[in-house]
């Protein structure tokens, strides 16, 4: 029996890296500098780390991702000439290839990457399409901040995973900017020298 208010089928998980002071990029992010000026430490746990904790978090998450949701700004970054490639893509060096659903009302004229991208109008539609495409695996909302906040406020997430880098940026793109009050259930905390990996259940 399903508990009241619980969805059946794939879990929908918000998964994003951030600084201790709550930013997911430094100032001035763009296609040639996705994390802004000096934002590389945010993703060091995924790209540069050889620590077992980080590698296990990355491998487990990548393997469980049946479909991925992202915003248009993030798509523009990863599809740029400075973005993903065959060696470095979704899941960093895992370069996993689940179907991707991009939230935008203005689809691009062309796509550089040879991956499965579908362009949809709203976060809710993206989640619905991703749940259908994911089979029994997880649907992951990877960002950016605006899309993840929308999914959180609309009650579309079952779980929130934050990878908190040990750095104070002092500015950039805030993740929790004017979000609604919401209580979370703490499920897991694992720590490496590069990040504290936090998993919360949405109530």
**What is the number of residues in the chain?**
203
Domain count, the chain: 1
The answer to whether residue 6 is domain-embedded is no
Instruction: Name which of 5-19, 134-148, 171-185, 189-203 the model is least confident about.
Output: 5-19
Does the residue 33 lie in any domain? yes
Report the predicted TM-score, pTM, of the whole model to 2 decimal places. Answer: 0.93
Asked if pLDDT for residue 5 goes beyond 80, the answer is no
Instruction: Give 30-68 pLDDT, tens digit per residue.
Output: 888 899 999 999 999 999 999 999 999 999 999 999 999
Q: How confident is the model at residue 12 (pLDDT cuts 50, 70, 90)?
A: very high
For residues 80-91, give the mean pLDDT: 94
User: How high is the mean pLDDT of the chain?
Assistant: 94
**Assigned domain for 7 exists:** no
Is residue 5 assigned to a domain?
Answer: no
- Whole-angstrom distance, CA of residue 176 vs CA of residue 18: 10
Is 2 inside a domain boundary? no
Q: How confident is the model at residue 146 (pLDDT cuts 50, 70, 90)?
A: very high
What's residue 30's pLDDT? 83
Residue 1 in any domain: the answer is: no
Could you list the residue range(s) of the whole structural domain that residue 16 is in?
Answer: 12-202
* d(C-alpha 186, C-alpha 161), whole Å: 10
Residue 4 domain flag: no
Domain-located, residue 3: no
Q: Which pLDDT band, with edges at 50, 70 and 90, does 4 fall under?
A: very low
Which residues pair with residue 68 across a beta bridge?
A: 100, 140
pLDDT at 9: 76
Say whether pLDDT at 3 is over 50: no
- Give me the CATH number covering residue 119: 3.40.430.10
Give the residue from 166, 202, 183 showing the smallest Cα distance to 14. Answer: 202
Q: How far is CA 76 from CA 23, 123, 146, 174, in A?
A: 19, 17, 15, 19
């Amino acid at each position: 029996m399903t508990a009241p208010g619980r969805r059946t089928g794939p879990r929908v998980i918000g998964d994003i890296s951030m600084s201790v002071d709550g930013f997911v990029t430094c100032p001035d992010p763009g296609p040639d500098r996705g994390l802004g000026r000096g934002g590389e430490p945010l993703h060091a746990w995924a790209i540069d780390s050889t620590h077992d904790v980080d590698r296990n978090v990355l491998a487990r998450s990548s393997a469980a991702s049946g479909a991925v949701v992202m915003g248009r700004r993030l798509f523009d970054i990863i599809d740029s000439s400075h973005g993903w490639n065959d060696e470095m893509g979704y899941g960093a060096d895992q370069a996993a290839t689940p179907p991707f659903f991009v939230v935008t009302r203005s689809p691009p004229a062309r796509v550089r990457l040879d991956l499965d991208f579908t362009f949809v109008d709203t976060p809710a539609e993206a989640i619905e399409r991703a749940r259908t495409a994911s089979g029994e695996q997880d649907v992951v909302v990877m960002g950016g901040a605006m899309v993840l906040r929308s999914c959180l406020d609309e009650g579309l997430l079952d779980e929130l995973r934050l990878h908190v880098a040990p750095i104070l940026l002092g500015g950039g793109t805030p993740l929790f900017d004017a979000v609604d009050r919401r209580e979370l259930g703490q499920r897991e905390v694992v720590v490496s020298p590069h990040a504290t990996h936090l998993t919360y259940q949405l109530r």
